[in-house]
Structure 1
Amino acid sequence: MKETLARNIAIYRKEKGLTQEELAQILGLSFQAVSKWENAQSMPDIALLPELSRTLEVSIDKLLGYTAQDKRITIYEEEYKTQDYYWGTEPNDACYQVLQLMPPTKRLRLLDIGCGEGKDAVFFARNGYEVSAFDVSDAGIEKTRSLAEKTGVHVHVFKADILDYRLDTHYDIIFSSGVLHYIKPEYRKEIFDNYKQFTNENGIHVFNVFVNKPFIAPPPEKEPNAYKWYSGELLTHYHDWLMKDSSEIVFDCNSSGIPHKHAMTNMIAQKITSFS
């Protein structure tokens, strides 16, 4: 918890445009105290948490790393509450690329970021990977568990917000489909640096992201927490990795019942640090 609180204080302080000195002055403390919090050398006194929460305009739960159960972050929370699977149960095409590039001939740990209702996470577990997955939607998490149980596999699934959650254990494969547009631009470098740090040598990241194109109309879904990406932007975070795929596609979509188009960057990058 100390590391989570330290990271979140730094994130939300910077988001408010405050220096450590300015935050300390508001709280009536020395800037060294705030510095120690953000370096996880100490924690704020419990009596300071309400004022810290008000100053940073974020709940105490979120500061401590807990995602509020009653806050609607994704527009799909209600969609996932039906018995039917909103996205179906067929895996994303990129799942088959993972099987080709890193078949589970040995123990391989895989993380599915923003797993939705679990179709991809369950596919990976069914094919022999050791799978962890997270999503911000309670209904999505429950459907992931249910699908895993019906399929007879285990997926370690938990609730987390992509903006707040950081890795502290290593994976061989990190996978994410249709989720990265929820990352605010100012968080992107830190988040991808964290993902890269906690990836094993020769491990891969398999990501896609919707990209903004002037000739494609905005999607009909009004997502309040979605942020624009541009062609090539995702790749800049992986200039030091081996690119296995860096394609861009335009495709038709009917997810909302209204026909529309998306442009998307697909990326597979491999971590290679040795010179052998």
Structure 2
Amino acid sequence: MKETLARNINIYRKERGLTQEELAQILGLSFQAVSKWENAQTMPDISLLPQLSRTLEVSIDKLLGYVSQNRPITIYEEVYLTQDYYWGTEPNKECYQVLQRMPPTKPVKLLDIGCGEGKDAVFFARNGYEVTAFDVSDAGIEKTKRLADQCGVEVNVFKADILDYRLDRHFDVVFASGVFHYIKPEFRQEIFENYKQFTNQNGMHFLNVFVNKPFIAPPPEKEPNAYKWYSGELLGHYQDWLIQESSEIVFDCNSSGIPHKHAMSKMIAQKVTSINN
């Protein structure tokens, strides 16, 4: 918990535009105290948590690493409340690339980031992967569990916010589709370094992200917590990995009932052993 709290104080302090000195002054402390919190050397006294929470404009639960329940982060929370599966139950076609490039001929630990209603996570489990998945939507998590039960497979699924959650164990495959626009630009480097650090040698990342193009109109969905990506930005986080595939496409979409287009960057990268000259 100490490391989680340290990271969250640092993140939300920066979001509020406060320096360590300014936060310390508000709390009546020395800036060294705040610095020690953020370096996980010490933890705030429990009596300071309410004032710290108010100053950083974030709940105590969220500071401590629990997903806040007081506001929807994604527009899909309400959509997922229906009995039907909004995205259907057919897997994303990128799932077949995982099967092709890293088949589970031996135990393969796979992480599905932003699993939504679970169609891809369950597909991987049905094909023999050891699947862990998370999403920020309560309704999505429940539907993932339900679909896994219906298919007779096990998926370790839990609720987490992509901005807050960091890996603390290793995976062979990291898979994410259409979710990284929820990551604020200033946190991307640190988050991707975490994903890379906790990937086993020769493990692979199968990722895509919506990219901004001036000739494509904004999507009809009004995402309050979406942030733009640009061509080449995702690839730039993997300069030290072997790039197996990298492409950019424009495709038609009708997810909201209103025909529109998206531009998307896709990437498959592999963590290979470094050679020291």
1:18-58: per-residue Cα shift (whole Å, max 9, x none)? 22222212211122211221121221111101111111111
1:51 alignment partner in structure 2? 51
CA-based RMSD of the aligned residues comes to 1.1
1:145-195: per-residue Cα shift (whole Å, max 9, x none)? 000000000000000000111111111111000100111111110100110
2:270 alignment partner in structure 1? 270
**SS of structure 2 residue aligned to 1:41:** coil
Cα distance in structure 2, aligned partners of 1:164 and 1:268: 24
1:84 alignment partner in structure 2? 84
1:232 alignment partner in structure 2? 232
Cα distance in structure 2, aligned partners of 1:22 and 1:258: 47
1:3 alignment partner in structure 2? 3
1:177 alignment partner in structure 2? 177
1:17 alignment partner in structure 2? 17
Structure 2 length-normalised TM:
0.97
Runs of 5+ consecutive residues of structure 1 not aligned to the other structure = none
What letter matches 2:23 in structure 1?
L
Cα distance in structure 1, aligned partners of 2:13 and 2:204: 32
**SS of structure 2 residue aligned to 1:81:** coil
Cα distance in structure 2, aligned partners of 1:135 and 1:72: 12
How far is 1:227 from its partner? Answer: 0.5
Equivalence map 1:1-276=2 (5 Å): 1-275=1-275
Cα distance in structure 1, aligned partners of 2:101 and 2:166: 25
What letter matches 1:30 in structure 2?
S
**SS of structure 1 residue aligned to 2:77:** coil
**SS of structure 1 residue aligned to 2:112:** strand
Cα distance in structure 2, aligned partners of 1:123 and 1:275: 36
How far is 1:68 from its partner? Answer: 1.9
What letter matches 1:92 in structure 2?
N
Cα distance in structure 2, aligned partners of 1:227 and 1:20: 26
Indicate the percent of aligned positions where both proteins have the same amino acid: 82
Cα distance in structure 2, aligned partners of 1:182 and 1:165: 13
1:37-95: per-residue Cα shift (whole Å, max 9, x none)? 11212211111011111111111111111112242111011111111110011111111
Give the 4+ runs in structure 1 shifted more than 6 A.
Answer: none
